Amino acid sequence: MRYWLGAVAACALTSAAHAQATPPVFHYSPNPWHRGGRIDLVRAEMHTRYSSGSCLRGTFISAAVTALEIPRVRVRPDAEFWFHNATANGWNGNPWHISRSGSRAMFRALPPALRARVLAGVGDTADFKVVYTGARLTREFGIPACV
């Protein structure tokens, strides 16, 4: 799979009261990757859009880590979270031009068992090699579920 520039999350921020009524919103995170990873920009945006206790639904591509680190976040069983390595500064689109230290920093806020599994699975490229559903995150890592 080719590396995607930018993070697309077809998702909606919802409180428990609006979880069923709010339709998905197509969310485009900042597109900083053409100059190398800018994890802090995506983290700031996700923490602005999604408050503590939010119910995440939809597909989080490249923004999966920053969405899951939100305090008391919950996930719908059918949500998808796609993970990849961090790219190195000056990234030129080469999927093997990654930053191991950047990946470790990017994944630092995930629960330890999930962090270890993601780091083991992402391999040696920036391609999306690890995908989890909300149901699997709940079952295997104890991320709370929502409807």
pLDDT tens for 88-128 read 777 777 778 888 888 888 888 889 999 999 999 998 888 88
Confidence band for 6, pLDDT divided at 50, 70 and 90? very low
Confidence band for 26, pLDDT divided at 50, 70 and 90? very low
- From residue 107, give the alpha-carbon distance in Å to each of 18, 58, 69, 125: 29, 20, 9, 16
Q: Which neighbouring-strand residues pair with 93?
A: none
Q: d(Cα 115, Cα 48) in Å, to the nearest integer? A: 23
Question: What DSSP state is assigned to residue 14?
Answer: B
Question: Nearest CA to 59 among 127, 7, 4, 10?
Answer: 10
Q: d(Cα 120, Cα 130) in Å, to the nearest integer? A: 9
Q: Which neighbouring-strand residues pair with 28?
A: 8
